[in-house]
Chains A and B, each alone.
Chain A
């Protein structure tokens, strides 16, 4: 395993017209890190992720190490689910574009436990949880060593959400992945992330969760009294462990 920096961001600026979304952002990600990006709506979390993927124009420097292969799981796919596309069609399409062996489809399907029934089902007929798994399988094609997730469980109920996060953790361990994850869910951040990047209009912080996520910092970031209560695994959740999404 190589270690050391896999991503270096320096002086990143992103603008939409006259509106500045990200200003002078710098941080480093090391191989094997699990970085959580948090912040209120409109703070530019998704925008940052897309810039990291090279999907948006930006100023400043985003430098991936030469061996980095990126896999991306978007927040939502606006696709018309009525299209006659089966899950397998999608995976096969990406495999063909990347000129991968067709066996790689079975490999990624097995990695996320996609059953043959789901593979041959139309994308319009599978559940949100299965759909999310299919998107992760899609991202895994091409054997990425970095996975970028944009709120992978935004549309799921808690049980399905738990399964997806378990899956992500398992994949990270099995495949020695670096993970960059946008999340609203602070309990996930505590559980899985070793670094947190918080984005908001007024402040930016970066570091290990327990150092960065102080109640004062959360309050400042979300500009509202924190609804978050830290609980450890195994304890009953006392209250909603999600930060209010509507600010």
Chain B
């Protein structure tokens, strides 16, 4: 447990947790929880192809993620087509195609992820992507808040809503993509949603909400790794992290509504 590849992997996972908390807070307020699940699941066909044809799973997942993001963006814009129904179709279709394409022996890895040692290069690439995500959320925080409150007032204030929505979705997908490898397609969305739900329980202002969600996410990943290393000796880390995250959410319920 002391070699640098493992340490890189753990640090990246912790950094990812912070990004997931921030992005998840806004996703929760945008009522994008269903979209969050869909986006992580549309990675499945790409992952399946990658396992089948032996190329980098992140590349495969990334391509279908990107396509799925554009699809959802278009659906959001043309909401007269019932977005929910279309998203539901994309969601189920992706899982099915992924299940057909993925070789049986790679099933667990594709669906639940796998923690692995990473190279210095991968680490810095991931850290750069996470820095981009955090920069985006902090830089566009005000515009996002106004857009959440009233798209009309945001537009009247001069915010380009279409561009902002697309940027948010891309950042959202990037977050899912980073989590994809070690969280797996089924649970990558969970770390975006559950800590945000916890944060929401504990905060009544935007800044506290962002802080609480990030902390809840960080704690879940941290405790998850410790449990796996010293208690559970599990193969996939994702279920442990998600269970810890859900327990933290349960704890937040004890506190009366903020």
The residues of B that contact A55 with a CB separation of less than 8 Å are 152, 155-156
CA distance A31 to B156 in the complex (A): 21
The residues of B that contact A238 with a CB separation of less than 8 Å are none
Q: How far is the CB of A90 from chain B (nearest CB, A)?
A: 6
| A77 engages B150 (CB within 8 Å) | yes
Task: Kindly state the interface size class of chain B when it binds its partner.
Answer: 20 to 34
| B150 engages A86 (CB within 8 Å) | no
Of the candidates A80, A86, A97, A123, which one forms a contact with B158 in the assembled complex, judged by CB atoms under 8 Å apart?
A97
| A72 engages B156 (CB within 8 Å) | yes
The residues of B that contact A54 with a CB separation of less than 8 Å are 156
CA distance A50 to B205 in the complex (A): 30
| A84 engages B204 (CB within 8 Å) | yes
User: For the complex, is A156 an interface residue (Cβ under 8 Å from B)?
Assistant: no
The residues of B that contact A83 with a CB separation of less than 8 Å are 29, 148-149
Could you show 18 A-B contacts with beta carbons less than 8 Å apart?
A55-B156, A79-B149, A79-B150, A80-B31, A83-B148, A83-B149, A84-B200, A84-B204, A84-B208, A85-B145, A86-B204, A86-B206, A89-B145, A90-B145, A90-B149, A92-B142, A93-B145, A94-B157
Q: A84-B205, A84-B209, A97-B158 known; A74 and B142 CB under 8 Å?
A: no
The residues of B that contact A94 with a CB separation of less than 8 Å are 142, 146, 157
Q: How far is the CB of B74 from chain A (nearest CB, A)?
A: 19
Cβ proximity bits B195-225 to A, threshold 8 Å, 1 near / 0 not: 0000010011110110000000000000000
The residues of A that contact B232 with a CB separation of less than 8 Å are none
| A86 engages B157 (CB within 8 Å) | no
User: For the complex, is A159 an interface residue (Cβ under 8 Å from B)?
Assistant: no
The residues of A that contact B145 with a CB separation of less than 8 Å are 85, 89-90, 93
Give the number of residue pairs across the A-B interface with Cβ within 8 Å.
71
CA distance A74 to B204 in the complex (A): 25
Instruction: Given contact pairs A74-B152, A83-B148, enumerate 14 new A-B contacts (beta carbons under 8 Å).
Output: A72-B152, A72-B153, A79-B148, A79-B150, A83-B29, A83-B149, A85-B145, A85-B205, A86-B206, A90-B145, A90-B146, A93-B149, A97-B158, A97-B159
User: For the complex, is A70 an interface residue (Cβ under 8 Å from B)?
Assistant: yes
User: For the complex, is A68 an interface residue (Cβ under 8 Å from B)?
Assistant: no
Q: A80-B29, A92-B142, A96-B142 known; A85 and B153 CB under 8 Å?
A: no
Q: How far is the CB of B202 from chain A (nearest CB, A)?
A: 9
Chain A residue nearest to B200 (CB atoms) is: A84
The residues of B that contact A72 with a CB separation of less than 8 Å are 152-153, 156
Q: How far is the CB of A154 from chain B (nearest CB, A)?
A: 15
Q: How many residues of A contact B (CB 8 A)?
A: 26
User: For the complex, is A53 an interface residue (Cβ under 8 Å from B)?
Assistant: yes
CA distance A50 to B156 in the complex (A): 9
9 smallest CB-CB distances across A and B, nearest first, come from A93-B142, A96-B142, A93-B145, A72-B156, A77-B150, A84-B209, A79-B149, A89-B206, A97-B142
| A97 engages B152 (CB within 8 Å) | no
Question: Which residues from chain A sit less than 8 Å from chain B, CB to CB?
Answer: 50, 53-55, 70, 72, 74, 77-80, 83-86, 89-90, 92-94, 96-98, 122-123, 138
Of the candidates A74, A92, A97, A123, which one forms a contact with B143 in the assembled complex, judged by CB atoms under 8 Å apart?
A97
CA distance A16 to B156 in the complex (A): 20
| B208 engages A97 (CB within 8 Å) | no
The residues of A that contact B146 with a CB separation of less than 8 Å are 90, 93-94, 97
Q: How far is the CB of A119 from chain B (nearest CB, A)?
A: 11
The residues of B that contact A85 with a CB separation of less than 8 Å are 145, 148-149, 205-206
| B150 engages A74 (CB within 8 Å) | yes
Chain B residue nearest to A121 (CB atoms) is: B204
Most buried by A among B29, B155, B158, B204: B204
| B153 engages A74 (CB within 8 Å) | yes
CA distance A89 to B203 in the complex (A): 13
Chain A residue nearest to B199 (CB atoms) is: A84
Chain A residue nearest to B25 (CB atoms) is: A84
CA distance A201 to B31 in the complex (A): 38
Q: How far is the CB of A165 from chain B (nearest CB, A)?
A: 21
Of the candidates A80, A96, A122, which one forms a contact with B204 in the assembled complex, judged by CB atoms under 8 Å apart?
A122
Chain B residue nearest to A86 (CB atoms) is: B205
The residues of B that contact A89 with a CB separation of less than 8 Å are 145, 205-206
CA distance A247 to B206 in the complex (A): 42
The residues of A that contact B155 with a CB separation of less than 8 Å are 55
| B150 engages A84 (CB within 8 Å) | no
CA distance A94 to B157 in the complex (A): 7
The residues of A that contact B142 with a CB separation of less than 8 Å are 92-94, 96-97
CA distance A83 to B204 in the complex (A): 8
| B150 engages A97 (CB within 8 Å) | no
